[in-house]
Amino acid sequence: MTSSYIPYGKQSITQADIDAVVEVLQSDWLTQGPAIARFEQTVAAYTGAAHGVAVNSATSALHMACLALGLGPGDWLWTSPNTFVASANVGLYCGAQVDFVDIDPRTYNLSVECLAAKLAQAEAEQRLPKVVVPVHFAGQSCNIATIHRLAQRYGFAILEDASHAIGATYQGEAVGCGRFSDLTVFSFHPVKIITTGEGGMVMTNRPELYEKLIRLRTHGITREAHLMTEPSHGPWYYQQLELGLNYRMTDIQAALGTSQMDRLDTFVARRRELAARYDDRLQGLPLTCPWQHPETQSSWHLYVVRLHLDSLGKSHRQVFESLRQAGIGVNLHYIPVHTQPYYQALGFQWGDFPQAEQYYREAISLPLYYGLTDAEQDRVIQVLQEVLA
């Protein structure tokens, strides 16, 4: 039974990955050694960003990015309700307040029309956001050029949550290049496109943000001569300039990450192939396949279908449970963040973001990962056909 269970996501580890990790274990550095810089340079070169800062998770990366942007008490962070809770929580970590912008009913990304309307209203009420966090849901980029135009008009910073989207493109350029944003974050959790076990990275083209991120990752400490405000006491001297954290990634993880980067394009190519097979073979079923904007090329972290419940005669939950019982590891991305008990206690209510809520009532994430075979995918499709029949 367990051997025939098809999960919704799974990492792919080769002997080359294992060798890269073992090499670090046998070296002088388990952390803060040369593997970190190599991984950062590899991701920066791939995306076209000037800098990358590797950390122990994407959650840490988002938190540090908000701190580097100066987010704090009295400020607002806005994000999508259709995301993992971390995209919103990091605003609260900084003592800021969090609000949401409803989603586009086709892409399931933050809607730029809703954003524009909410900004106009917030300007009138003098509570404009300091940071907006667009989430590239399932690996498809948001309409980031339009968000950038709004940022120029209203003066907020853009922090892209690209946890799903390493390997994706927008207007022909890699997500993470930073053409239209201040900072971009990737996640390397095992279900994401590439993995370091746990891990994340912040990309930026802005040197002053880069310097801050480097310090925030290690307790707010610097050894760089040009940042010293006190005369050096001697070669032992280091200086704490702000209240930082210990969010460092290990060299063991970074070596795995660099090795995985060798196969990023291969991973994404297979995910695209599997997504195209789903598109093709799910035709005619009472569901909506993921719509893709022509300016985007998704990395396909997730493949989400929306059930046509009106014509089904079965509930969302019944379909979900039938698939799970048949050994298909379907999942649901995401329960709208504002409906979580913690956020309801802050004053959010069901009904606040109707598109995200409607989407949640119909969505199911089908298995999608590099190692999924055609035969396994055909089984998913066959079971789905039977359940929806």
Ligand X SMILES: *Cc1c(COP(=O)(O)O)cnc(C)c1O
Instruction: Give the binding site for ligand X (CB under 6 A).
Output: 57-59, 83-84, 86-87, 135, 161, 163-164, 187, 189, 200
CA distance 387 to 282: 13
Nearest approach, Cβ of residue 238 and ligand X (Å): 28
Nearer to ligand X, 249 or 319 (CB): 249
Nearer to ligand X, 94 or 135 (CB): 135
Inter-residue long-range contacts of 14-19, CB under 8 Å, 24+ positions, other chains counted: 14/259, 14/263, 16/259, 16/262, 17/256, 17/259, 17/260, 19/259
Nearer to ligand X, 175 or 388 (CB): 175
- Select from 333, 331, 332, 330 the least CA-distant residue to 383: 330
Nearest approach, Cβ of residue 229 and ligand X (Å): 33
For CA atoms 357, 285, 169, 247, the dihedral sign is positive
Nearer to ligand X, 163 or 204 (CB): 163
Nearer to ligand X, 69 or 319 (CB): 69
Nearest approach, Cβ of residue 367 and ligand X (Å): 17
Residue 129, CB half-sphere, CA atoms under 13 Å: how many? 27
CA distance 122 to 147: 16
Nearer to ligand X, 221 or 264 (CB): 264
Residue 139, helix vs strand vs coil: helix
Residue 226, helix vs strand vs coil: helix
- Select from 205, 346, 367 the least CA-distant residue to 301: 367
Nearest approach, Cβ of residue 56 and ligand X (Å): 8
Nearest approach, Cβ of residue 10 and ligand X (Å): 15
Residue 226, CA distances (Å) to 207, 223, 239 in order: 14, 9, 12
CA distance 106 to 26: 50
Nearest approach, Cβ of residue 83 and ligand X (Å): 5
